[in-house]
Structure 1
Amino acid sequence: MKKTVFYLVIVILLSVFPSTVMASEKVPVTAEKPVTEIPTEVKTMLNRLEEIKDMDKSDLKSSERKELRKEVREIKKALKSSGRGIYISTGAIIIILLILLLL
């Protein structure tokens, strides 16, 4: 009985009073963002999209408009595929969170 009370008191004291072991002062490191230049292929695609957006489409035939729409879709698809993002599914995120909680 005395041991459980003793352990309970120690746990409460350790959780209530902050520990100064990890409270050392560290100089904050400023991370500089690397300058990432847009590749020339992407620039040309973006410029073409701007040209298409600025065009006056009222005097175009319907077949020409369809071609422009197809071109815009292809450019957008190419821009999405050239992205360097990492995609994680929601199931993977849930598994990662569960593993982190268990550790």
Structure 2
Amino acid sequence: MKKKIYLIALTMLLSVAAFNSYASTATDGALTILSKEQIASMTTEQKEARVEEIKARVNEIKAMDKSELTKQDKKELRTELKGLKHEANALGGGGIYLSVGAIIIIILVLILIL
């Protein structure tokens, strides 16, 4: 009986957990946003260099005087920053994301076990 409970709990846990890694394929501003396939084919040194390029571009955007920009220009900068963030997350390996439902199920399983 205990094996059945563990099997069900493990199945539920694995079905709720999600592994996400996002990268945009759009081209914005000075940097070209890379696709997932391009990122997967990169070496570690290339990934580190790309992260440094992204950091430099983000620092350029932060240093800009945004008070003189039009509404459309500000929107384009926000879109570029979002794309760069997604690409940086993809270069960094993404992460493990658990939904609220998964956390609740984990807590319930722990309560049942203990």
Computing the radius of gyration from Cα coordinates, the structure with the larger value is 1
More strand by share: 2
TM-score where L is the length of structure 2: 0.43
More helix by share: 2
TM-score where L is the length of structure 1: 0.47
